[in-house]
């Protein structure tokens, strides 16, 4: 029994060791990856429901790892946040997104680009200055940039976050509460936040055509957003049936696999050309 016990303990210790080493390798790789510019963005269209036109895209980060191929954000964003690399990462993402936005504008495509912010970004009072720099460097008007912040992050250090957001908004950048409905913000809080759009979480959207409870939540969120002078964005639209209901209920913008998955800039422009020749 003693041996068994020691055996198990040893195995667990070894496993921890391996996991620890793996984490370190990945972190080191992530630092190198950031230095080498291995981050890339995929773009997912946002459609304005009343007009049926694609008015913008959400930029979603990917890591083009030299050996592992395309790595998704859920794998490396927690690591970046934990290691204090999120400031650098976000500035790189902004740079790529705004360069792309400038190129599209030069080609006559006036698309709004939405970029996601992380928890540490909102505690960083130098962020608004960096955003202003990037906008002027690429000669992109502030109104062409949207920033998304999850409801959960907004609630963490509300005072500091609100100050950073207010400064961004004063520059003319549009702000959205992301994953709305999954956090715990009260209506009073929502009322006080300097935000322009509510982006309802896909958990309530995807089955809104068949699930009455989802339908009720979507309908009342559209109403709430409009009553607060905000727009409602639905993410996770995966079917024509859901799209039809959202249109009927007055939702402003939609995004989801039914329209398009996130894809490289080249593939996105080809998709747009084919759809709106």
* Residue 149: φ, ψ to 5°: -130, 130
Residues 174-213, mask of contacts with Ca ion (x by CB under 5 A):
----xx----------------------------------
Residues 4-33, mask of contacts with ligand C2E (x by CB under 6 A):
------------------------------
| Residue 256 touches which of ligand C2E, Ca ion, none (Cβ within 5-8 Å per kind) | ligand C2E
Q: How far, in Å, CA of 224 to CA of 227, rounded?
A: 5
How many CB atoms lie under 10 A from the CB of residue 266?
A: 8
CB 91 within 8 A of CB 128: no
* Residue 57: φ, ψ to 5°: -140, 155
The residue within the footprint of Ca ion, chosen from 44, 90, 100, 116 (CB under 5 A), is 116
CB 205 within 8 A of CB 256: yes
For the bound state, the minimum distance from the C-beta of residue 116 to ligand C2E, rounded and expressed in Å, comes to: 4
Q: Measured between alpha carbons, how far is residue 132 from residues 124, 140, 150, 193 in Å?
A: 14, 10, 22, 21
The residue within the footprint of ligand C2E, chosen from 47, 49, 71, 93 (CB under 6 A), is 93
Q: Measured between alpha carbons, how far is residue 42 from residues 38, 87, 115 in Å?
A: 13, 20, 11
Residue with the shortest CB distance to Ca ion? 148
CB 238 within 8 A of CB 214: no
Span from 71-79, 187-195, 226-234, 266-274 in contact with ligand C2E (CB under 6 A)? 71-79
Contact between 257 and ligand C2E per CB under 6 A = yes
* Nearest-5° Cα angle at 264, 261 to 266: 120
Contact between 72 and ligand C2E per CB under 6 A = yes
DSSP β-ladder status, 174-180 and 197-200: parallel
Q: Where are the beta strands (DSSP E) in 119-245?
A: 145-150, 174-180, 197-200, 231-234
The residue within the footprint of ligand C2E, chosen from 262, 265, 269, 272 (CB under 6 A), is 262
Task: Give the residue with the Cβ less far from Ca ion, 29 or 176.
Answer: 176
Task: Give the residue with the Cβ less far from ligand C2E, 7 or 180.
Answer: 180
Task: Give the residue with the Cβ less far from ligand C2E, 226 or 258.
Answer: 258
- Look at residues 102, 93, 159 and name the one whose alpha carbon lies nearest to residue 136: 102
Contact between 181 and ligand C2E per CB under 6 A = no
Q: In the range 184-243, which residues lie near ligand C2E by CB under 6 A?
A: 202, 235-238
Contact between 61 and ligand C2E per CB under 6 A = yes
Q: Which stretches of the chain bind ligand C2E, using CB under 6 A?
A: 44, 60-61, 72-74, 77, 93, 116-118, 148, 178-179, 202, 235-238, 256-257, 262
Q: Which stretches of the chain bind Ca ion, using CB under 5 A?
A: 116, 148, 178-179
């Amino acid at each position: 029994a003693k041996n068994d016990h020691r055996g198990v303990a040893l195995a667990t210790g070894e496993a921890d060791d391996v996991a620890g080493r793996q984490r370190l390798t990945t972190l080191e790789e992530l630092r190198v990856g950031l230095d080498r510019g291995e981050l890339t963005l995929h773009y997912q269209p946002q459609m304005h429901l009343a007009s049926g036109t694609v008015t913008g895209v959400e930029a979603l980060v990917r890591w083009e790892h030299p050996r592992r191929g395309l790595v998704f954000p859920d794998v490396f964003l927690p690591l970046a946040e934990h290691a204090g690399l999120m400031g650098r990462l976000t500035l790189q993402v902004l740079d790529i997104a705004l360069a792309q936005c400038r190129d599209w504008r030069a080609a006559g495509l006036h698309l709004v680009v939405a970029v996601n912010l992380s928890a540490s970004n909102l505690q960083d009072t130098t962020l608004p200055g960096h955003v202003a720099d990037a906008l002027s460097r690429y000669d992109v008007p502030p109104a062409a940039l949207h920033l998304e912040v999850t409801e959960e992050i907004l609630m963490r250090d509300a005072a500091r976050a609100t100050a950073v957001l207010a400064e961004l908004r004063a520059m003319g950048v549009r702000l959205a509460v992301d994953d709305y409905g999954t956090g715990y913000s009260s209506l009073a809080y929502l009322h006080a936040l300097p935000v322009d759009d509510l982006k309802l979480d896909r958990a309530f959207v995807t089955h809104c055509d068949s699930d009455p409870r989802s339908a009720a939540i979507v309908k009342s969120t559209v109403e709430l957003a409009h009553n607060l002078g905000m727009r409602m964005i639905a993410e996770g639209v995966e079917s024509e049936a859901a799209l039809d209901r959202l249109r009927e209920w007055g939702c402003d913008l939609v995004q989801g696999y039914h329209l398009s998955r996130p894809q490289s800039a080249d593939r996105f422009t080809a998709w747009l050309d084919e759809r709106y020749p």
